[in-house]
Structure 1
Amino acid sequence: MENKINTLLYNFKEKNISAIHEKLANLGYVLVQKLVTELGKLKSEIMNFEWDVIVIDHDNNNSLIEEILDFMNDLNRKTNILIVSDKIDSELVQLAFKNSKNDIVSKTDNTQITLSLIRNYEKARATKQFDFTKKELLRNQHSLKEHYNFLNQVIESTENPIFYKGSGGIYLGCNEAFAKFIGLPKDKIIGKTVFDVSPKEHAQKYYEMDQAFFRNPVVQKYEYKVVHAEGFTMDVLFHKSPLKDEDGNVIGLLGHMFDVTNKQEIEKALKDSEQKYKMLVEKMQEGIGIVDLDETVVFSNEAFDKMFGCEPGEMLGQNLKDYIVEEDLPNVLKQTARKKENQTSIYKLDIIRKDKKKRTLIISSVPWKNSNNEIMGAIGLVIDITAQEFSTKQLHKKIKIEQSIITISSKFISVENFQSKLDEALQEIKNIIEAERYSVITIQNKKIKLISELFNENVDQNDVEFVEIPFDEFKYGLKLLEHFGFIFFDDISNLPDEAIAEKELFEKYSFFNFLGIPFYVGSEIAGIISIINIYDVNEWTIEDLSVLRTISDIIGHAFSRNKAEEKVKQLNLDLSVKNEELEQVVYVTSHDIRSPVVNILGFSDEMTKALNKLSDKIFIETNRIQNKDEIEYILKKDVPQILNFIKVSGQKIDKLLMALLKLSRLGRAAINKTNVDMNNLVKTVVNNFEYIIKQDNIHIQIEELKDCFTDKVAINQVFSNLIDNSIKYKSHERETQIKISCKEDDGNIIYIIEDNGIGIPEGEISKIFDVFYRIDPENQQGEGIGLSLIKKIIERLDGKISVGSKEGEGTKFFISLEKLRIY
């Protein structure tokens, strides 16, 4: 990567420029210059552009130099000025070094001019980096105070010099050991370059190695003989590693210095340093939260709540945007857009806690999806930003582990395709711990059963088939489980005699080490997550166990939910079967009962005819019968009246049975949903009532109706019945008014059929959808199934129906249906 030095040259001689270009190119720099010869033009360029370096030919004119420096001071410009002169005297020196950023070199020494250009360029670039870093540090000082103290304690706890620099080579921080080595206080080091704090002969070496590091930013190790500030010489091993931002870009380096005069001491120092970093990572507290697409928290753990200064559970329902500092809101909106595009993200965020304290967090999020694979929001891992400053490598590992946990969690938000999700969970565990074999076994009826298994791709699968085994035979493993909450055998060959059952099983399946973490459904153990033949078993840590325990909790919860949902499915299936049986009983019963009812009605008619015929023959004038009048009354009045009662009752039974059959058939009728033009449909329905509308002077107002997605035939029947009811139950005290309108609500269309009829008594409203209920049974015909039928139709259309009414004023029916679908 070329370093371009933007340089403004004043009165500089052309003959020197080509030589300087060549020397800069050899050192990896490019001179981008602009040459001006007029003072006015020089001032204009200074005002309108920010230069890395300004080079001025002294030309034995001190007043010129003084005027330019005063002009720079008035503008508060911090640009480094290089003065070249063939005569350097005390007056010029005093004048130039009023500002420590200025430099003077001989006009004839192109090498010194080249080095001074590089030095001033690096100082300018470092100053910008330092200014930016300083602003960042000030802005985050309050929220990072505790983390900074912890980081500082860790850095200061080692006797080895530690420093870190920005990409421009500027020192951003160090420990006291480094300051003591340099021989300067820390505030005289931070913001400076190696040329400012180290002897010239060493600074050049440090600079070259830094440049080599940034050209190839991997871990750099080299030994160099240096002189301590106290004067003694020592061999030092420099260990430099990259510092990266959340996007993986290198933003600086972290350096350790080890005295390698004694190799044993450096090995111990390295071990101690690694142990301290390991301790740092293990003590980190992470928060996990789930937010919807509007950044409202729908789940949070205790650590998440604590980070926001809240009590456990207090963050639920709160919006993260209420805590985010104003300048970070655009970035949050950007990340929200990434979620909607099904993208994961890692980003830094500044928040103001509930107690008004400022905190800086790193959010690692993955999309949160529902069972239909629709993005509902994001699942986020929240960690402290200082983790990155301690060790990029450990942080990336931690994020990878936690993302595996989040991925597993997101998979089991729903338990559909449960078996495949178990297989995917094993794949995530494989990404965390390297082993030959992974499995999930369940404990059913006190027997172990293998339900999911995954092999490392580099391992041949064992041909021995896993069989169900009594769980309580493994007494030694059960004892470990009871005492420690997990089972871990690091070497099967070293198992004690009491573990003979475990040893025989493991040897059968070629296990040489075994880790088992239980999961529970309620308080009972439901199964074990097992990892077999771990490759680096000696590197297995408590952190790995903690990760697996978290995963086992997730899987246990998933098993519990799966069991519950299977039970619900079975109950729904049983209910569906019972409903079908009930419909069949109603249908068969209604059909079978109707046959004798038809016979009753038929024979009643036959009996009436027979009586008429008998009466005609008995009461002819030629017949002389005693008690003729009494017999005639019985045959012509009493018996026909009785037969009429039988017939009317039979007809009523027949109508009721027909109504039941109608309801029964409705449950089996096919539903064919499509987009329905409701304006045309309602107009067609109203036209069917045209005769009675004109006859009774009924006014019907139809507003513009929105289309919906429903069954056209079924909804036609609904509107026909409701309009018929409005006409049937009209008030005789006023002209009948019927109004049909609609409104949109939460993705549905609500249709309103409103009339000014007799209304419904308040105590009767809850009964109107009951089978055989009629509002005015004395004055109205019908069986009372119309509204029951409507309600059942609407429910089969996945809609809702409700009613509002006031006796003597009128009634409103509200029908909610799915709005028009756009394909």
Structure 2
Amino acid sequence: MKVRESFLLSVLQQSPHATAIYDSADLNIAFANQAMLEMWCADSSILGRTFCACFPGFKAEGFSSILKNVWKTGITYRATDTPANIIDQETKTLRYFNFEYKALVDETGNTYAILHTASDVTEHYLARTRLKQQEEQLSFNNELDLLANTLAHDIKNPLAVLKMGSDFLSRNIDLQVNISQRWFDTIRAAIVNIESIINQTLQLGRIRSASTLTECIAMDKKIANCIDEVKLIYPDQAVAFELGDLHALYAERGAVYQIFMNLIGNAVKYAKRTEKAILKIYSEKIDKGTVYFIEDNGIGIPEDELLQVFLANERGSNTEPASGSGIGLTLVKRLMERMGGTINLSSELGKGTIVRLFFPATCAGS
């Protein structure tokens, strides 16, 4: 067995692809080939030490928390065009990477190692960014189609709340004051959300130099509002919500509502009906900004469709029984990119999905 392990490590050592292996929950670096050491600007003295101890900068940027989540959940994490600061002695350089944290699990489903592979795509990323900027100057006609689809898609949710509220109040004239007041408050919040959606949607179509109205948003209240609306829209879905730290964001209120309403709504819509459905929402501060996680134990997304679901009018092949237009994740991705943020999905069929939203420091609440 040891001979076989030695042979495999020898093969990985010769691989031109940067590769590392972590073999414990505290992210002990059991192996790193020369390509990975060069990428990290490190040497073999890091072997046998923890990832966090060797690379405090990566820890501050949130990579260690992703690795620990992969170890805990057993769900592989993949990301593309991800920025990271590489420190070579005293020089810090921003580079971009495609990488994968692959969970290696035993027959009982417990993680025993993480296989980390990565490639530096900085030059390709910068070239694509320049090309994208040029293309965006010519894409306003396509933007108009997105605006129409966005309005049609996202206004449906608060409109549904308005309809339910008005129908309920009209059928129950002699309600207790406190009950009717709660419904009036819900209706008022739905109207505010419709106004925010319209303002944000119009903002998407304006010239990019136009200013955006930003404000400090208390996310505990905003997410509670989204959860209340989703429960009204999907009353038959029994989902338990587990909320952690919800750090404030400094952003456009309508955009934040659309992002979290779409993601929470999707998680509830596709929640499992055969067992206890749980949706966890929490956040953490990193040196570049704030990261939000939305973690469910729902139906999951097929691995080969994780990128496809961000395309307009595309949905996971296993979502057919549920209604939907497929515009939601496209809009979320657009909104995150407009704020300089990113969205990544990790998922496994039958096990669930983890959404990671990165909001840059300019969106961090004061």
Shorter-chain-normalised TM-score: which range?
0.3 to 0.5
TM-score (norm 2): 0.45
Bigger radius of gyration: 1
TM-score (norm 1): 0.21
Higher RCO by CA contacts (8 Å cutoff, separation 6 or greater) = 2
